[in-house]
Amino acid sequence: MRVVYVSPHATCGGAERVTMDLIALHGRGSVEPAALFLRDGPLVEEARALGVDTDVLVVPRMRNVLAAERAKRTLAQRLVALKAELVHGVTAWGHCYAGEAASIARIPAVWFQHDVPRWRRPESVLAALTPARRILANSALTANAQHRFNPRRVKIEIVLPGTRIPTEPRPVRRARGRAALGFGADEYLVGMVARLACGKGHPTLLRAAQSLCAARADARVVVAGGSLFGTDAGYPAELERLAASLGIAERVRFVGQIEQVADFVSALDVTVHVPDGSESFSLAVIEGMAAGTAVVAADAGAVREIVEPGVTALLVPAGDHEALATALLALHDDPGAREGIAGAGAEAARTRFDARQMASRVESIYREAVA
């Protein structure tokens, strides 16, 4: 089956990482993927390196109605040229273009909802009105919300995102990751992987780090991620100023956008994911679990669909830096508990969040959608 993935972005956020894993892991005997990006960026060359047909069509914003309609018709022509048998829209914005273009070209379409739809977001409403054979939701939280945005009564399928499960021993990955970052083997390393954007919880981590670093001399904090999609351009500098004002600038390192997420997470003792509000899913949590790193996460959104509290992760109230500092200190002082949580998380990731399982599940949905 020839499936064309239409992604509104070509920079690597969570939804895009899931998409690239799908493209890479589909069994070529069942799915022949192609990629079409609506913006240029580093993922274009990454898709080409996978050996799949890749195209770029830069489209205008949806508010430019006439230009957007012309772009949809051009996109429909590209889909035909790519010999699409099924179109997969990435996120609501992606489906607003991909679904309409697929309808024009008379090609069935599905799309993957990676965040909780909301009435104040135009793309949530537009995507729900756009034809589709199936909607893939990344959690029950997302699926339940999507049911309220479903005037076409499209069947919604829950597909929990997956990640690559490491095959190398953890000590090897840990040593390589620490060497790349320049940290010693005996340092207590706490880290976060998240887009540098308001609401991702970076201030909560930094305020917790102030207490942690004051109490434990071997504690270090490292933050990975960049300001993507042309938003929050001033936010990285704001975070660096906050770290300086808290007196921990020498104990905190911002490493920017990274390519080897697995090595980075493997280098950590604790992975932190503490967004301020409710998130539909957390790729960072399952990446931390898969790497064999202990996870501390905010108890909000879909996180309880991913972890077993106290067993595969510690949960703290969202926005509570004191509770986060307490959890980090406890894991510092009890390496046995830390390793127990890390081991249970790694086993859960292998059984529930292997990206190959995700690809197989998506393929079965494709077959139903086309049939």
Domains of the chain: which residue ranges?
A: 2-162+354-370, 170-352
* 159's tokens: 């597909």
Predicted local confidence at residue 278, as pLDDT: 87
pLDDT, average across residues 212-226: 96
Predicted local confidence at residue 314, as pLDDT: 98
Residue type, 296: V
**Would you say residue 229 has pLDDT above 70?**
no
- pLDDT, tens digit, 9 for 90 and up, residues 79-124: 999 999 999 999 999 999 999 999 999 999 999 999 999 998 999 9
Cα distances (angstroms) measured from residue 311 to each of 161, 205, 295, 296, 321: 21, 22, 10, 11, 21
Q: Fold for 170-352, please state it.
A: Rossmann fold (3.40.50)
Predicted local confidence at residue 258, as pLDDT: 87
Reported as type and span, the H/E element at residue 315 is: strand 314-316
Provide CB contacts within 8 A for 234, sequence distance 6+. none
**Would you say residue 228 has pLDDT above 70?**
no
Reported as type and span, the H/E element at residue 46 is: helix 42-49
- pLDDT, tens digit, 9 for 90 and up, residues 292-312: 999 999 999 999 999 999 999
Average pLDDT over all residues of the chain: 95
- pLDDT, tens digit, 9 for 90 and up, residues 169-182: 999 999 999 999 99
- pLDDT, tens digit, 9 for 90 and up, residues 11-33: 888 899 999 999 999 977 899 99
Predicted local confidence at residue 54, as pLDDT: 97
**How many angstroms separate the CA atoms of 300 and 274, rounded?**
9
Superfamily grouping for domain 2-162+354-370: Glycogen Phosphorylase B; (3.40.50.2000)
121-130, 154-163, 199-208, 255-264: segment of lowest average pLDDT: 255-264
**How many angstroms separate the CA atoms of 194 and 139, rounded?**
19
**How many angstroms separate the CA atoms of 21 and 142, rounded?**
21
pLDDT, average across residues 361-370: 96
Predicted local confidence at residue 13, as pLDDT: 85
